[in-house]
Amino acid sequence: MKVFLMYRDRDFDTQAVMPSNELLLTQDLELKTLFNAMSGGDSTISEVVRKALLMGADSLNTIQYRQNILKDCLKNASVVHSIYDIAVASITARKKHYYGIFTRYPDSVLRNALELMQVLVSLLIELKTIAETHIGAFDSEGFQAFFTMLMDNLSDEYLLGIRNHMEYLRSRKGVLISAGLGTGNKGVRYMLHRFQEEKRIWWKQLWQAIGKCFFIRKQIENIVRISERDESGARVLTELRNKGMNLVADALARSADHILGFLDTLRMETAFYVGCLNLHDLLVEIEEPVCFPLPLSAERRKLQCIELYDVCLSLIMRRKVVGNDLNLEGKDLVIITGANQGGKSTFLRSIGLSRLMMQCGMFVGARYFCSDVCAGVFTHYKREEDTAMNSGKLDEEISRMSDIADDIRPNSVLLFNESFAATNEREGSEIARQITCALMEKRVKVFFVTHQYEFARIFHEKKMDNVVFLRADRRQDGSRSFRLMENPPLETSFGEDLYHSVFTGSLSGKKAGNTTYGSLHP
């Protein structure tokens, strides 16, 4: 019995090794905010969504598979929540019937296993009932298969068979064991057999009594009796019985573990969808649009979106934020320039987030989103600390770039945020240029937010078809729209604006000449 709600043909691997850039990615894309929103305080969900987001799905096919399941979840939220609750209940049961290391004796193992099994079987029956009741309301291939699997595998007669075993194990009186002769003719290879006590019928009893009279020798011969006062004999007898029970106790305890394993997988896999439902609720509440993205092959280069926004920003702001509309086709390099606090970082984050969300089968924060998938998302952000130690900082940045180079593959996405600016512009641009050219030739999809005009200019002058320039838009009055437009780089950013904004508290006091500042280098 397999859950298969994350993949069509395999379990979600909670032990999978996370990408080596996990911490950087989490930090740079503010993923903690997303995880917290999705988990709603449930540590299981938090863990599962973290893994699902960072690992991504393995194919377009799987993305589609999960999207369909998620659509079903959005339709039947309460049913999904109750499936998750059933799965969670198995953990509670396990904690209660935990086999402590000090109770490792067949009798107690068996007793614990029986109690646990009782609970687990009732959880399975609950699941089966849900399947029977709601199968009609679900359209996705995943849920159809899951419900059918439950109904097929948990037929009434099968459940009866289980109950039968448990009944027998609970009530057993005699124990029938077989053994072979081992070293020194001691008993080995113990095996337990099912022993049905014969119903005592009066004439049978009489017959046996008569038999005893005539064949008394035979009767005594094959029986070893332990006298009441023989304490060591009684101990041996208990041990012998335990040796037989050992096997069945082990079998039952392991079976209980397997059922737990099944329910645990169910818990992990539904946790992902419950997390998506939680996020959905939050975004709907602040009236942010969400959509199921249209993923394209990793070989493609396309980014078409309407109102693509930074989900984490709106979660923090608890309100609708500005989104961007783009329609890029065949671009390997996107260079983003423009005003400080003009929404460049937010845009970069929305690019990273939307790709991660799309690739694990989620909806994304946009009204419309269509993009190629990627082999992995990498970030290279300027670190704000140690501003004083410029050379050490560049060293650190380049070493991080070297780490990325170890892991990055063609068709990955690499998001640079003001990288290699820890030196003078000429050198920084040259480093950035060399790295970027190499990455492009290696078919890496590069998004580069930069203030370094020199760097942007080099690519701009080449007039390459596969390079596009976005610029943080600036309204005529100097205020930011936080929207990015396709525009060539400008030699200066709008730091002076920011200065005024901070020091004068308003933009209205600006000198008139400043408004034309941006048009010096069209």
Partner 1 sequence: MALSILFENGCQHLATEPPVFFTDLNLDQVVDAITAQREEYDLKPYFYTALNTVDSIQYRHEIMQDIEKQDVLDRLKAFSKDMSSVRAHLAQADKLYYSRQKERWMLDAVSIYFNAVQKLSEDLLAADLKSRGLLAFRNFLKEHIESDQFTSFQSEARRLTDALNTIRYCMLINGSSIRISRYENEADYAAEVETTFERFKQGTVKNYMTSFPDYVDMNHVEAGILNVVARLYSDTFSDLSTYCSNLSRYIVETVSVFEHEVQFYIACLDYIAKFRQAELPFCYPQVSSDCKEILCNDGFDAALALKLIEKKLPVVCNSFYLKGRERIFVVTGPNQGGKTTFARTFGQLHYLASIGCPVPGRKAHLFLPDKIFTHFEKKETIHNLRGKLQDDLIRIHDILQQATLDSIVVMNEIFTSTTLKDALFLSKKIMERIISLDLLCICVTFMGELSSLSETTVSMTSMVVPESPSLRTFKVERMPANGLAYALSIAERYQVTYDHLMERIAP
Give the binding site for partner 1 (CB under 8 A): 1, 11, 99, 104-106, 109, 113, 153, 161-162, 165, 173-181, 183-187, 189, 191-195, 221-228, 232-234, 236-237, 239-244, 246-255, 257-259, 261-262, 265
Extract the tokens encoding 73: 């979840």
Tokens 């000090």, residue located: 102
Please give the helix or strand (H or E) that residue 482 lies within, else none: strand 480-486
CB of 199 to partner 1, least distance (A): 15
Residue placing its CB nearer to partner 1 in the complex, 239 or 299: 239
Q: Which of 6, 55, 67 is nearest to 295 (CA)?
A: 67
How far apart are CB 156 and partner 1 at their closest, in Å? 15
- How many whole angstroms separate alpha carbon 320 and alpha carbon 374? 28
Using the minimum distance from each CB to partner 1, give the nearer residue, 194 or 409: 194
Q: How far is the CB of 186 from partner 1 (least distance, A)?
A: 6
Say how far apart CA 16 and CA 12 lie, in whole Å. Answer: 9
CA-CA distance, 476 to 478, in Å (whole number)? 5
Distance of alpha carbon 408 from alpha carbon 21, whole angstroms: 10
Greatest Cα-to-Cα distance within the chain, rounded to the nearest angstrom: 127
CB of 239 to partner 1, least distance (A): 6
User: With respect to partner 1, which residue has the nearer C-beta, 182 or 392?
Assistant: 182
The residues that bridge with 469 in the sheet, in sequence order, are 335
In DSSP terms, 470 is beta-bridged to 336, 486
In the complex, what is the shortest distance from the CB of residue 266 to partner 1, in angstroms, rounded to a whole number? 10
Q: Residue 494 contacts by C-beta under 8 Å, 6 or more apart in sequence?
A: 338, 339, 340, 342, 474, 478, 517, 518
User: Per the structure block, which two tokens stand in for 10?
Assistant: 């395999």
Nearest approach, Cβ of residue 99 and partner 1 (Å)? 7
Q: Which is nearer to partner 1, 228 or 384 (CB)?
A: 228
Find the distance separating the first CA and the last CA of the chain, reported in whole Å: 65
Q: Which is nearer to partner 1, 14 or 514 (CB)?
A: 14
| Between 70 and 150, CB nearer to partner 1 | 150
Count how many Cα atoms sit within 13 Å of the Cα of residue 514 in the half-sphere of its side chain: 19
Q: Are 353 and 415 in contact (CB under 8 A)?
A: no
Residue nearer to partner 1 on the CB measure, 262 or 459: 262
Strand order in the sheet with 324-329: 294-296, 368-372, 302-308, 324-329
Cβ proximity to partner 1, 15 vs 387, nearer residue: 15
Q: Give least dist CB 222 to partner 1, A.
A: 5
* Shortest spacing between CB 50 and partner 1, in angstroms: 22
Interatomic CA distance for residues 516 and 520, integer angstroms: 7
Q: Shortest Cβ distance from residue 343 to partner 1 (Å)?
A: 47
Residue recorded with tokens 């999904």: 80
450 neighbors 456 (Cβ within 8 angstroms): yes
Nearer residue to partner 1 within complex by CB, 110 or 422: 110
- Residue whose CB is less far from partner 1, 73 or 259: 259
- Please state the closest distance from residue 227 (CB atom) to partner 1, in A: 8
